[in-house]
Structure 1
Amino acid sequence: MPFARLAAVTTATAHFGLGLAALGRPAYITPGRDRDLPGGRSPDALRERAHELLDAAYAQGVRYFDVARSYGRAEEFLAQWLRARPEIQDVVIGSKWGYTYTADWRTDVEVHEVKDHSVEAFERQRAETDALLGERLDLYQIHSVTPDSPALTDPALHALLAEYAAGGVSVGISTSGPAQADAIRAALAVTVDGEPLFRTVQATYNLLETSAAEALAEAHDAGLTVIVKEALANGRLAGSAAPPALRAVAEETGFTCDAVALAAILRLPWAGVVLSGAATVLQLSANLHAAVVDLDEGQLARLAELPEESAAYWKHRSELPWS
């Protein structure tokens, strides 16, 4: 397993990863992008920002980097960064297939990405990812699996994924939506020749959306590495947007809201890697302070009162504008 390499990293931030969803394309659903990103958001400007974040993350001990075919040019930006730094060999690289980026570097389109979990989509996108990341790719995940996804029931696709895994690339899933737990449990049941197919699961989990917790613990107990995404709820758990209870705990600890929200997840025994989706070096540094935030039982109990009903959480997320 490629994630065994992370076990050898002794930095306090070894359980963090950096995701490039917000930096590989000009539009995303996290608010405040006019404030956080370079003016114009040209490919060159976002490439420079992505490389700045990757440098800062690596310097601060982060060793997992996460991209996807649908993140605009994120795979390209990461591949260029890796080629320019051949001495860096101790990182784990994960990407995802199953969505195609369709916005053509525009922010004003109605549809930014199209979902397709077919065999044909896998073969096309695998070739595209291999052309960019090649032997540096450690993990290839099916992007945003839901319980009705054909990726959970297609034996032809499972055979191709198993063949790909036999070549040295681990395969996993990411999940989204209010039925994440069902998708995770369905994925745990997928086998090829009697062996479990998926070795990782990447799921949304944060102080507002905790519905997948038991299923993620089951995945961990089954030997999968759990990667937590959207740990700050697309900005809802950072800065002035954070709930009053989180802001109060942050004031007590002397750390920022984002650091406290991430620290609560780091305490979970099943959380293998927690992703930062930072768009600036300052945001990244604040996120990484979570490694030294010490929360007492009373503070954790107050944070445990924050979860929303899952359907309401995902409805709110679906209404966030791309900007």
Structure 2
Amino acid sequence: MSFARLAAATTPTCHIGLGLAAVGRPGYINLGRERDLPQVRSVDALRTRTHELLDAAYAQGVRYFDVARSYGRSEEFLADWLNARPDLDDVVVGSKWGYTYTAGWSAEAEQHEVKDHSAATYERQRAETDALLGDRLDLYQIHSVTPESPALTDKELHARLAEAAAGGLTVGFSTSGPAQADAIRAALAVTVGGEPLFRTVQSTYNILETSAAPALAEAHDAGLTVILKEGMANGRLAAPHAPEVLRAVAEETSLGCDAVALAWILRQPWAGVALSGAVTITQLTSNLHAPAVDLGDDQLARLAALAEDPRAYWEKRGQLPWH
């Protein structure tokens, strides 16, 4: 399994990965983008920023990089970076299919992405991903599975995914929405030839949204690698937007709110990889302090009390503007 290489990494930040959702396209829902990214977000400007982040991340021990077909040109930017560095054989690359990017490189587009979990979309997007990443792709995930997703019941799709897995590709899924736990449990039940289909799960998990925790623990116990996304709740846990309790704990540790928020995630015994969504090198470096944060029981309890009802959390997330 490709993720064995990541689990065996010896760098201090081996459990932090870098996700390129926020730098692969000009518009996204993270707070503070107007401050963090260039005013002119041309393809070349964001390609340069992405490569700078990848260089900094690799130099500081990050080995897992996460992209998706719907993240604008994220696969292209990562492929360019990898092609210029053919000797980096310890990098693990994950991408996702199931959403099509439709914004045409505009932050003001009426529709930014379209979801479709059909076998036909898998075949089309798999070919597009292969054209860019080729054999550098280690993990291919169904993007944002929900309990009602046809990807959970489509036997033809399962057969095609199992064929890809037999060829050496790790097959996984990601989840979104207030019913993540239900989606995870449904995906764990998917088998082909009596064998579990999925080897990884990537879910939204942070101090504010903890509802998937029991199901993620079950996935871990079933042998899946657990990848955790949106650890900063799309900027809601970063200064200056962070809750007062988080700011207080950060002050006690003498580190940033972001490092504390990611450290809280990494304290979960089933957490495999926590993704950084940094868009500046300063943010990335601060995020990478997370493994060094030592949180006491009282601090952990105070942070845990910030958890929101998942329906309220996802409603707030849905109201964040693309900008």
Matches within 5 A, 1:39-188: 39-188=39-188
Partner of 2:302: 302
For the residues of structure 1 that align with 2:164 and 2:64, how far apart are their CA atoms? 21
For the residues of structure 1 that align with 2:139 and 2:200, how far apart are their CA atoms? 8
Deviations 1:106-136 (A, max 9, x none): 1111110000000110000000000000000
Unaligned runs of 5+ residues in structure 2 are none
**Pairwise CA distance, 1:8:** 2.6
**Pairwise CA distance, 1:9:** 1.4
- Matched position secondary structure for 2:129: helix
**Pairwise CA distance, 1:38:** 1.5
**Pairwise CA distance, 1:242:** 0.4
Task: Give identity over the alignment, percent.
Answer: 76
**Pairwise CA distance, 1:251:** 0.5
For the residues of structure 2 that align with 1:8 and 1:116, how far apart are their CA atoms? 35
**Pairwise CA distance, 1:31:** 1.5
- Matched position secondary structure for 1:239: coil
Name the Cα RMSD after superposition. 0.5
The one-letter code matched in structure 1 to 2:121 is A
Matches within 5 A, 1:222-261: 222-261=222-261
- Matched position secondary structure for 1:306: coil
Are 2:317 and 1:317 aligned?
yes
For the residues of structure 1 that align with 2:179 and 2:12, how far apart are their CA atoms? 33
- Matched position secondary structure for 1:158: helix
Query: How many residue pairs align between the two structures?
Result: 323
For the residues of structure 2 that align with 1:159 and 1:47, how far apart are their CA atoms? 36
**Pairwise CA distance, 1:39:** 2.2
- Matched position secondary structure for 1:134: helix
For the residues of structure 2 that align with 1:5 and 1:31, how far apart are their CA atoms? 33
The one-letter code matched in structure 1 to 2:164 is Y
Deviations 1:50-69 (A, max 9, x none): 00000000000000000000
- Matched position secondary structure for 1:151: helix
For the residues of structure 1 that align with 2:7 and 2:34, how far apart are their CA atoms? 37
For the residues of structure 1 that align with 2:8 and 2:225, how far apart are their CA atoms? 15
Deviations 1:267-305 (A, max 9, x none): 111000000000000000000001101011111111110
The one-letter code matched in structure 2 to 1:87 is D
Are 2:214 and 1:210 aligned?
no
Deviations 1:127-170 (A, max 9, x none): 00000000000000000000000000000000000001111111
Report the TM-score, using the length of structure 2 for normalisation: 0.99
**Pairwise CA distance, 1:180:** 0.2
For the residues of structure 1 that align with 2:68 and 2:26, how far apart are their CA atoms? 15
For the residues of structure 2 that align with 1:313 and 1:94, how far apart are their CA atoms? 26
Partner of 1:286: 286
**Pairwise CA distance, 1:246:** 0.4
- Matched position secondary structure for 2:274: strand
- Matched position secondary structure for 1:17: strand
**Pairwise CA distance, 1:310:** 0.5
Are 2:201 and 1:201 aligned?
yes
